[in-house]
């Protein structure tokens, strides 16, 4: 079953009763409910949202990822369950014991999958992708030749229309804002899945920033970034260079957790 994504962008009071999330909306006096076990991602994006401790406890018990946003409506915080799997300590030990050669091979596979998906998206947009296809077979263990960066240079130069003069930079001009938001959603979904699989999201295979609590999530999400890029491309197509975040754009980006992906020629979610 696909878990639900719930977004709150208006004042709300969130409490719980009988394993249900009870949502009181003061602006309209509405009261809504949702089964907590069905929620995979909950996003809090308003300064006047109150959430009770029992709600947080039950959400985390059901491995729900809870995201908080800042005054610019960008995700800045992520709450995850600390006890996500019955064999968690055993899997932590296997992670810690992973050899350097194994980690390099896993990163090689990750980069190859990312570049392949970037090439596929270019093909969908009828953009030449031969340069990326050629790079896939050149990725070595650990990506020692940094094919990922070579692919990125070509990919970002061509994926968006020329009138945007786009440069991928976190604090750069739109649609960087849309990419940042989409990647934050993707990161939360991946981190939640890792915890649910009994893996430690902090311990990465390539990302190793000592200040980053989600290094493995940042590794695993790499091949899925083009799925976010696809949503942003569709937004650009419909809005031109008017790309400041709107509720409609946010709604499209919030569909990311439910997107279909292809694995071994089979559709997966």
Strands annotated E in the chain: 4-8, 12-17, 20-25, 30-35, 39-44, 49-51, 65-69, 75-79, 261-263, 266-268
Residue 114 is part of a domain; what is its CATH number? 1.20.120.920
Does the pLDDT value for residue 145 go beyond 80? yes
| Pair type for strands 39-44 and 4-8 | parallel
CA dist., res. 41 & res. 174, Å (int): 25
Same domain, 62 and 162: no
**Residue finishing a domain among 51, 79, 107:** 79
Same domain, 121 and 247: yes
Does the pLDDT value for residue 183 go beyond 60? yes
Same domain, 49 and 164: no
Q: What is the pLDDT of residue 133?
A: 97
> Do 23 and 36 touch, CB atoms closer than 8 A?
no
Same domain, 62 and 124: no
pLDDT band at 5 (very low <50, low <70, confident <90, very high): very high
pLDDT band at 267 (very low <50, low <70, confident <90, very high): low
207 is in an annotated binding site: yes
Does the pLDDT value for residue 1 go beyond 60? no
CA dist., res. 174 & res. 171, Å (int): 9
Q: What is the pLDDT of residue 220?
A: 97
35 forms beta bridges with 20
- Pick 84 or 228 by higher pLDDT: 228
The pTM of the full predicted model, rounded to 2 decimals, is 0.88
Does the pLDDT value for residue 139 go beyond 90? yes
CA dist., res. 187 & res. 183, Å (int): 6
Same domain, 69 and 197: no
- Which residues form the domain of 21? 4-79
Residue 55 is part of a domain; what is its CATH number? 3.100.10.20
Q: How many residues does the chain have?
A: 269
Mean pLDDT value across residues 28-56 = 96
> Do 7 and 247 touch, CB atoms closer than 8 A?
no
Same domain, 72 and 115: no
**Residue finishing a domain among 79, 104, 139:** 79
Q: What is the pLDDT of residue 88?
A: 78
Same domain, 133 and 32: no
Q: What is the pLDDT of residue 37?
A: 95
Same domain, 187 and 132: yes
Does the pLDDT value for residue 269 go beyond 90? no
Same domain, 65 and 114: no
Does the pLDDT value for residue 150 go beyond 90? yes
Q: What is the pLDDT of residue 255?
A: 93
Does the pLDDT value for residue 268 go beyond 70? no
222 is in an annotated binding site: yes
> Do 39 and 59 touch, CB atoms closer than 8 A?
yes
**Residue finishing a domain among 17, 47, 79:** 79
Does the pLDDT value for residue 233 go beyond 70? yes
The count of structural domains within the chain is: 2
Label residue 265 left, alpha or beta by phi (over 0 means left) and psi (-120 to 50 means alpha): left
Q: What is the pLDDT of residue 266?
A: 67
> Do 4 and 39 touch, CB atoms closer than 8 A?
yes
Min mean pLDDT across 55-59, 148-152, 200-204 is at 200-204
Same domain, 61 and 137: no
Q: What is the pLDDT of residue 197?
A: 87
- Give the tens place of pLDDT for each residue, 83-132: 766 777 888 899 999 999 999 999 999 999 999 999 999 999 999 999 99
21: number of Cβ within 10 Å: 22
> Do 45 and 85 touch, CB atoms closer than 8 A?
no
CA dist., res. 152 & res. 201, Å (int): 25
Output the DSSP codes for 11-73: -EEEEEETTEEEEEETTTTEEEEEEGGGEEEEEE--TTEEE-HHHHHHHHHTT-EEEEE-TTS
Q: What is the pLDDT of residue 200?
A: 86
Mean pLDDT value across residues 151-173 = 95
Mean pLDDT value across residues 232-257 = 93
Same domain, 262 and 193: yes
- Pick 158 or 258 by higher pLDDT: 158
- Give the tens place of pLDDT for each residue, 51-93: 999 999 999 999 999 999 998 888 889 998 877 667 778 888 9
Residue-averaged pLDDT of the chain: 92
27 is in an annotated binding site: no
Largest CA distance in the chain: 60
Same domain, 262 and 132: yes
């Amino acid at each position: 079953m696909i878990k639900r994504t719930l977004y709150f962008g208006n004042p709300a009071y969130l409490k719980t009763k009988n394993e249900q999330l009870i949502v009181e909306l003061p602006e309209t006096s509405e009261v809504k409910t949702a089964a907590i076990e069905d929620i995979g991602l909950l996003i809090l994006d308003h300064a006047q949202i109150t959430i009770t401790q029992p709600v947080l406890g039950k959400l985390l018990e059901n491995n729900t990822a809870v995201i908080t946003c800042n005054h610019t409506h960008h995700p800045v915080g992520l709450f995850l369950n600390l006890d996500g799997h019955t064999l968690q300590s055993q899997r932590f030990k296997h992670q810690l014991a992973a050899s350097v050669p194994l980690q390099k091979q896993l990163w090689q596979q990750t980069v190859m999958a990312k570049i392949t998906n970037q090439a596929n998206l270019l093909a969908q947009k009828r953009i030449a992708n031969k340069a990326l296809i050629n790079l896939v077979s050149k990725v070595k263990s650990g990506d020692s030749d940094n094919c990922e960066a070579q692919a990125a240079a070509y990919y970002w130069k061509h994926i968006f229309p020329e009138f945007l003069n786009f440069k991928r930079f976190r604090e750069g001009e739109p649609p960087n804002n849309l990419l940042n938001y989409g990647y934050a959603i993707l990161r939360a979904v991946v981190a939640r899945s890792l915890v649910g699989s009994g893996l430690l999201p902090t311990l990465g295979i390539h990302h190793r920033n000592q200040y980053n609590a989600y290094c493995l999530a940042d590794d695993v999400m790499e091949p899925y970034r083009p799925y976010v890029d696809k949503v942003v491309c569709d937004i650009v197509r419909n809005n031109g260079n008017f790309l400041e975040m709107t509720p409609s754009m946010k709604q499209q980006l919030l569909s990311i957790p439910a997107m279909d992906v292809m694995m071994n020629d089979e559709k997966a979610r």
